[in-house]
A = this chain, B = another copy of it.
């Protein structure tokens, strides 16, 4: 068992870039080579087959290039038990290819219920005389809406099992302003700044030899001005940056999330990497080449933006 933030930093340095590829299964948009064999199966086996074919092809394309992948669990869950089986397949295959797995789940609840989610994704579950990991990813995203005591069970599980969390601080959607941007009467600061201080505080005991904590934050690429402030409030946090690509954020927009050392953030793209492959009739080889090319383009953009800022 090693330390999540140290593992992620080491993978970023090994691959030479901080890019993460999102895996969002949408069967209706997948290439036909993934869905055609599935059409001859029942629904449950079929969705598992289609998603697994798609995920494996994405992993083949991206595993030499990036440090981590980010499956979005909603897109697996919408396919039911077959979708959850394909999530297991995808996690296993990603880890076999030495990719870190950041599961985008935005989970949370109170006390023992939060602990159940932590067990499901980061720890182990005890049942029937056994104790075993369940979905067993490296890291998940967590919502702070229920307060500090709802996040502490996740932090405890991270400490015990060498895992990580990214706490939502400022999400990439326009509506994030409704709650996250509200100025607090007590401090005249927006709620997202209070949350950033909570991330920093919860993360202090989990700082690794890299100088980064296994308690990180989510800050959308769509809000570069806010990102600059947030970077300063959480010097030891790794920032997971969604919103690049299809959501309109550019590599330049994401640069305020990085520290002066050029580290401290990972940038995710999903649709612009995995669904920009042309016709649904592409061959597996053509699909993999398209995903590779899209990933290399993103890596190039991000590296240029970081160099351009002298970082």
Contact = CB atoms under 8 A, between A and B. Distances in A.
Interface of A: 24, 27-28, 35, 38-39, 43, 46-47, 50, 72, 74-75, 77-81, 84-85, 88, 104, 106-111, 113-114, 116-117, 119-120, 125-130, 132, 134-135, 143-150, 168, 171-180, 182-186, 188, 191, 194-195, 198
A145 B147 contact: no
Closest 6 CB pairs of A and B: A147-B175, A149-B175, A147-B178, A183-B185, A145-B145, A110-B173
A202 to B, nearest CB: 11
B43 A130 contact: yes
Contacts of A50: 127-128
Contacts of A168: 145-146
B174 A79 contact: no
A27 B149 contact: no
Contacts of A178: 144, 147-149, 198
A116 B78 CA distance: 6
Nearest to A47: B127
Contacts of A80: 84, 88, 120, 125, 134-135
A175 B148 contact: yes
A136 to B, nearest CB: 9
Contacts of A38: 128
A171 B35 contact: no
Contact of A182 (B79, B130, B191): B191
